[in-house]
Amino acid sequence: MGETAGSDQGDVHVERAGDVLHITLDRPSRRNALSHSMVASLVDALTAAATDDTLRAVHVRGTGANFCAGADWVTTNRPGDRPRTGDLVRRIPHTANRIVSLIAGIHLPVVCTVRGWAVGLGFNLALAADFTVAAHDAVFWAPFVDRGFSPDSGSTWLLPRLAGLARARRMLLLGEKVSGADAADWGLIHGAAPAEDVDRSTADLLAHLATGPTVAIGLAKQALATSAQATLDQALTSELHHLELSCRTADFKEGLAAFRERRSPGFSGR
């Protein structure tokens, strides 16, 4: 998916391996910074995955030494190219914000593998994922204020909820860079590993998720997302509705049978 042009607009490769969809950002010459065409392709890939009942997990990664250097503001904001007033308000809800919303809201577990730089939109993409595994020496950076504009693509929502308000201020107002190892210690991401072990750690995690009760995982993911704005009573009610749905699945029956028979369950994702 996506397009490759002579001006190096990059590409987004979508490949299925069994029940897992691998989405690869491919623009290594610009640290996989997202061009307009790549953003559109990423939105299309995630939208298609959200409605594919045969998938069990989604994996997002970058080509080469880096994950993603964010939206390509240099290429898309050339001198003389002055969009009409309100361009960002019209466009971003359907582009950068849509990517973060899809990753956070899709009823499939999303895993990111991060090496090198995860910057701006790339940083928020990694934060929005359910599980991000990074190399110890990866760099997470939210340089919005350093570039003269305010944070976007979910940073002010994601960062304080994951790492606390004080650390969010350090990253968003002071532009502090955070290593993969520190990001794991802060609770920003699932975990960090030596660079040579990152792929194995990600593969183990994907294998575990792709053999789990997919519907129950998706419902639990939704419940976690909405609980932040809910009262306890609202969360309890929401959990009951999710429980009602998950108890109607084949995986629920399999889980009970496995418990009775004292064996490991063989979930089908249905």
Which whole-number Å values give the CA distances from 57 to 41, 88, 98, 176, 265, in the listed order?
Answer: 18, 31, 19, 32, 18
Backbone angles phi, psi at 123, to 5 degrees: -65, -45
Compute the distance between CA of residue 230 and CA of residue 238 in angstroms, rounded to an integer. Answer: 9
Judge whether 17 lies within some domain: yes
Q: What are phi and psi of 183, to 5 degrees?
A: -60, -40
137 and 241, same domain (yes or no): no
The CATH number of the domain holding residue 173 is 3.90.226.10
Looking at the predicted structure, is the pLDDT value of residue 163 above 70?
yes
Q: What is the mean pLDDT of the chain?
A: 92
- Residue 2 lies inside a defined structural domain of this protein: no
What's at 9, amino acid-wise? Q
198 & 221 share domain: no
Domain membership flag for residue 267: no
**66 and 167 together in one domain:** yes
Residues in Cβ contact with 47 at an 8 Å cutoff, skipping those fewer than 6 apart: 102
30 and 152 share a domain? yes
Same-domain status, 225 and 200? no
Q: Is the residue at 3 inside a domain?
A: no
If we measure between CA atoms, which residue out of 127, 143, 119 comes closest to residue 189?
127
In a domain, 265, yes or no: no
Identify whether 124 is part of a domain. Answer: yes
Mean pLDDT of 100-123: 97
Domains of the chain: total: 2
Are both 30 and 50 inside the same structural domain? yes
CB of 68 within 8 A of CB of 30? Answer: no
Do 120 and 218 lie in one domain? The reply is: no
The closest alpha carbon to 139, from 104, 167, 178, 100, belongs to 178
Starting at the edge strand found earlier in the chain, the sheet holding 139-141 runs 117-119, 139-141, 178-179
Residue 27, pLDDT > 50, answer yes
**For residues 13 and 141, what is the distance between their CA atoms, to the nearest angstrom?**
25
Examine the fold and report which residue of 184, 210, 236 is the final residue of a domain before the chain moves on.
Answer: 210
What is the span of the domain harbouring residue 232?
214-260
* Segments of the chain assigned E as strands: 11-17, 20-26, 57-62, 110-114, 117-119, 131-135, 139-141, 178-179, 191-193
Q: What is the pLDDT of residue 147?
A: 85
Q: Do residues 176 and 242 share a domain?
A: no
Q: Which DSSP letter does residue 34 get?
A: B
Verify that 130 and 176 share a domain, yes or no: yes
Q: Is the pLDDT of residue 64 over 90?
A: yes
For residues 178 and 247, membership in a common domain is answered with no
Percent of the chain with pLDDT over 90: 83
Residue ranges in 138-189 assigned as alpha helix (H): 155-163, 165-172, 180-186
Asked whether 70 and 107 are in contact (CB, 8 A), the reply is no
Which span out of 77-81, 86-90, 233-237 was modeled with the highest average pLDDT?
Answer: 233-237
Residue 200 and residue 227 in one domain: no
Does residue 269 lie in a domain region? no
> Are residue 203 and residue 136 in the same domain, yes or no?
yes
Residue 62 dihedral angles phi and psi, to the nearest 5°: -115, 155
Q: Is residue 1 part of a domain?
A: no
Which residue among 193, 210, 227 closes a domain? 210
Residue type, 221: K
How confident is the model at residue 91, as a pLDDT?
Answer: 73
More confident residue, 18 or 149: 18
Tell me 148's DSSP state.
Answer: T
Cβ neighbour number for residue 95 with a 10 Å cutoff: 18
Q: How confident is the model at residue 6 (pLDDT cuts 50, 70, 90)?
A: very low
**Is residue 78's pLDDT more than 60?**
no
With DSSP H G I counted as helix, E B as strand and the rest as coil, what are the percentages for the chain, rounded to 5? 50, 15, 35
pLDDT band at 79 (very low <50, low <70, confident <90, very high): low
